[in-house]
Amino acid sequence: MYVKKFMPLDRRTFLRGAGGALMSLPMMEAMGDTAKDSMKSPKRMVCGAIFYGFMPKYFNPVDSGSNYTLPALLKPLAKHKNDFTVFGGLDHNMGGGHQSTRYFLNGIQISEAAAYKEGNISLDQKAAQFVGAQTRYPSLVLGATSNAFNMISWSSNSIAKVQVSKVSHLYSLLFQDMGARQKTKFEKRLKDKSSILDLVCHDAKKHESKFSKKDKEKLDQYFTSIRELEKRAEQSRQWMHKSKPKTDYVLDRDIDQLDLAQRMNFYYDLMVLALQTDSTRVISLSFSALGSNYGGFEGVAHDYHTLSHHGNVQETMDELLIIEKAYMQGFAYFLDKLKEVKEPSGQTLFDSTMSLFGSGMSSGNSHSNRNLPVVLAGGGFKHGEHKHYARQSGGASVELCNLYLSMLQNFGLDIDSFNRSTGPLQGLETV
């Protein structure tokens, strides 16, 4: 008797709906185990940071454990309380005030980078290296209120990653394909860049024997930069002729002229879409100055930096609290959106996305970089607590890089250290 054999169906064939819309189907027997494996949600990582810290009295819970009371700045996250962890007692054991806020995601200043195996690469870029060309963009580096100083994303050779600051530019990167003429020009630029890199590399090697040991170390860093540029060029070439996903999401043509208060959630909407369409799996987002009109936050009449030096004057602190609470409300909005997206695996986008939010400064008023404000939501960890870590012998804090190491291991990296880490963060467990 002849029995017809059914080949497992490739689920991707069902994802091309009308207009290219993303569609989610339930698991079907015909898809087989192979399809089940392909439907597993990839790990994602999102890192958000603000520039002037959060006022400790409004951010740090009094009690540890799961029965802690949410302070004012964590109340916007109330509905997610069981799905995030707030950390206390973690930092990079460095000072430097505003200068050190740039190193929130790596814990290593440029002046110290040479002493570390991978320089001062940041958390997001370490994860991006792991992703490589699996997605169109190994990472997206965003600066909602971008300035030249508040760069939080770093390559291993101490080069700050350029931020995408305009919402319209981010939208174009995600959804607007290049025309034939643009592709030709882009391909030519890639070829020209490769030729220049080859010439520079060849010329540098000719003189290598004349360099001192210190110069050779600098040259190694230089060659590392060149290799990274070559890798990015090749990744761009691989994706250039592949169509970008389609979306019904529409932006107003004047989107980039909106105040930050009105513009913030558009970044988060597009970040969710970027993850949902697998355009990237790694995103960083930073906030710094508000602009001349103070960002459009109702009740804010003074410059953000001025307010951060509140001198414990309650009226000034109340005004600063409006800004800081708005940032937490934006993060809460992002978590809401992640939970709304169901993935083929049956999980939500929230379940597969490690969402970190905090600052490289704990108090703008005192310029302190100790006991940094940090929240981590989703992504496969057990949450629902305030975890406070006591200072170690000699007064040193537990390294924030221990948390980053745990995140990178959860992301899939087979590593046992990251920058200043002394090991994975104790007490943080995966689901």
d(CA 349, CA 354): 10
Does one domain contain both 297 and 226?
A: no
Helix (H) / strand (E) containing 358? strand 353-359
3-state secondary structure of 142: strand
Q: Within a domain: residue 430?
A: no
**% pLDDT > 90, the chain:** 68
d(CA 305, CA 293): 13
Q: Within a domain: residue 361?
A: yes
Does one domain contain both 78 and 145?
A: yes
Q: How far is CA 368 from CA 81, 314, 353, in A?
A: 27, 20, 30
State the pLDDT confidence band at 392, using cuts at 50, 70 and 90: confident
Does one domain contain both 276 and 368?
A: yes
Where does a domain end: 210, 243, 276?
243
By residue range, what is the domain housing residue 229?
177-243
Does one domain contain both 166 and 182?
A: no
Secondary structure (DSSP) of 228-254:
HHHHHHHHHHHHHTSPPPP------TT
pLDDT at 394: 83
> What confidence tens digit (pLDDT) does each residue in 127-176 have?
999 999 999 999 999 999 866 677 899 998 888 999 999 999 999 999 99
pLDDT at 291: 79
Q: Within a domain: residue 223?
A: yes
Q: Other C-beta atoms within 10 Å of 301: how many?
A: 8
State the pLDDT confidence band at 26, using cuts at 50, 70 and 90: very low
Q: Within a domain: residue 205?
A: yes
Q: Which of 31-45, 271-285, 389-403 has the highest mean pLDDT?
A: 271-285
Residue 197 has pLDDT above 70, yes or no: no
Residue 386 has pLDDT above 70, yes or no: yes
pLDDT at 290: 86
Helix (H) / strand (E) containing 374? strand 374-377
Residue 214 has pLDDT above 50, yes or no: yes
Does one domain contain both 224 and 366?
A: no
pLDDT at 28: 46
Residue 22 has pLDDT above 80, yes or no: no
Buried b (16+ CB within 10 A) or exposed e, 359-385: bbbbbbbebbbbbbbbbbbbbbbebeb
Looking at residue 56, which CATH number applies to its domain?
Answer: 3.40.720
Q: Within a domain: residue 24?
A: no
Q: CA dihedral defined by 134, 351, 344, 169, rounded to 10 degrees?
A: -50
Mean pLDDT score, 112-137: 93
Does one domain contain both 159 and 195?
A: no
| Beta pairing class for 84-88 and 374-377 | antiparallel
Does one domain contain both 204 and 272?
A: no
Quote the number of domains for the chain.
2
Residue 11 token pair: 């689920």
Does one domain contain both 314 and 197?
A: no
Residue 30 has pLDDT above 60, yes or no: no
Residue 44 has pLDDT above 70, yes or no: yes
Mean pLDDT score, 211-222: 66
pLDDT at 401: 98
Q: Within a domain: residue 234?
A: yes
Its pTM stands at 0.84
> What confidence tens digit (pLDDT) does each residue in 309-343 have?
999 999 999 999 999 999 999 999 999 999 999 99
Residue 267 token pair: 């970044």
d(CA 26, CA 219): 53
Q: Other C-beta atoms within 10 Å of 397: how many?
A: 20
Residue 246 has pLDDT above 60, yes or no: yes
pLDDT at 208: 67
Q: Within a domain: residue 12?
A: no
Residue 216 has pLDDT above 50, yes or no: yes
Does one domain contain both 181 and 167?
A: no
pLDDT at 189: 65
d(CA 419, CA 55): 27
> What confidence tens digit (pLDDT) does each residue in 249-293 have?
999 999 999 999 999 999 999 999 999 999 999 999 999 888 778
Residue 31 has pLDDT above 90, yes or no: no
Does one domain contain both 139 and 188?
A: no
pLDDT at 212: 75
Return the residue matching tokens 């002229």.
257
Q: Within a domain: residue 419?
A: no
Mean pLDDT score, 403-408: 98
Contact 89, 391 (CB under 8 A): yes
pLDDT at 381: 98
Q: Picking from 51-65, 281-295, 331-345, 409-423, which range would have the lowest pLDDT averaged per residue?
A: 281-295
Does one domain contain both 104 and 190?
A: no
pLDDT at 2: 29
Does one domain contain both 120 and 201?
A: no
